[in-house]
Amino acid sequence: MKISCIVTDDEPFARKGLQGYIEKIDFLELKGLCENAVELNSLLKVQPVDVLFLDIEMPYMTGIELLRNLSKPPKVVFTTAYEKYAVHGYELEVLDYLLKPISFERFLKSANKIYDYFQNQPGSNDYFFVKVDSKLEKIAIKDILFVEAMENYVAIYIPDRKIITHLTLKMLQEHLPATSFVQPHKSYLVAIDKVNSIEGNTLYVGAFQIPISKYQKEETLQRILNNRFLKR
């Protein structure tokens, strides 16, 4: 299991130190380094991750202020030189609170706590079960093409059929890996690696056409293309 993360700290030495620690731990995957909360806010629009290693006192906006303004924040480990913010960490349900200077031993303990947390989350598994009529059906996450909302139901499309179950799109989204799925429209979740082509405001997934909302288009294209668009 790879756990994606971003380090945000206004001190270059602190960023470099945490980067070095992360690179020593095989289940952590660094996706970005940010100098402040504003930069992090922009990066999260195109690069969702599982965990933030987040400093608190930074220019423009504190880590706490940013966290309170994110509608769906990743899990957070605060990295700070100040003990006085510990109560905020408790209120915001952060995974850990690391006081600088951070030793590798203490960082490793935090990393193992992160691993244990995600290992025990429903969305960390390769599959889940849903109720269909009178039976429970197993769905492998890797098989999901896309999900369509149908009022109080969702239709989960896999290569050979669609499975309709009594869930909301939001409920299902909470149990799918954020880095693997994009929401191009309020009624759809699409597996990024299953998108075959894009034309105008439409995603093509196999024989299916998925609409892209004008409000979601920029983020959707950034997430899907992810620096893989080759052009002259």
Rounded CA-CA distance 106/32 in Å is: 22
95 φ, ψ to 5°?
A: -75, -35
Q: Under CATH, what is the fold of the domain 127-225?
A: OB fold (Dihydrolipoamide Acetyltransferase, E2P) (2.40.50)
8 φ, ψ to 5°?
A: -130, 120
Average model confidence (pLDDT) for the chain? 90
Confidence of residue 125 (pLDDT cuts 50, 70, 90): low
- What pLDDT shows up at residue 55? 94
- What pLDDT shows up at residue 158? 95
Mean pLDDT over 158-186 rounds to 89
- What pLDDT shows up at residue 37? 95
Confidence of residue 71 (pLDDT cuts 50, 70, 90): confident
Contacts of 176 (CB under 8 A, 6+ apart): 123, 141, 144, 189
Rounded CA-CA distance 113/95 in Å is: 8
* Domain layout of the chain by residue ranges: 3-120, 127-225
pTM of the model: 0.60
Strands 127-132 and 135-140 come out as antiparallel
Locus of tokens 């001190």? 11
- In this structure, which amino acid lies at residue 6? I
Q: Kindly report the CATH number that applies to the domain delimited by 3-120.
A: 3.40.50.2300
Q: Say what the alpha-carbon torsion angle 143, 140, 43, 66 is, to the nearest 10 degrees.
A: 150
Rounded CA-CA distance 219/47 in Å is: 10
- What pLDDT shows up at residue 165? 95
Per-residue exposure over 157-196, b if at least 16 CB sit within 10 Å of its own CB, e if not: beeeeeeebebebeebbeebebbbbbbbbeebbbbeebbe
Structure token pair of residue 12: 């270059």
Mean pLDDT over 201-222 rounds to 93
- What pLDDT shows up at residue 119? 79
Is there a common fold for 3-120 and 127-225?
no
- What pLDDT shows up at residue 126? 80
Rounded CA-CA distance 63/37 in Å is: 6
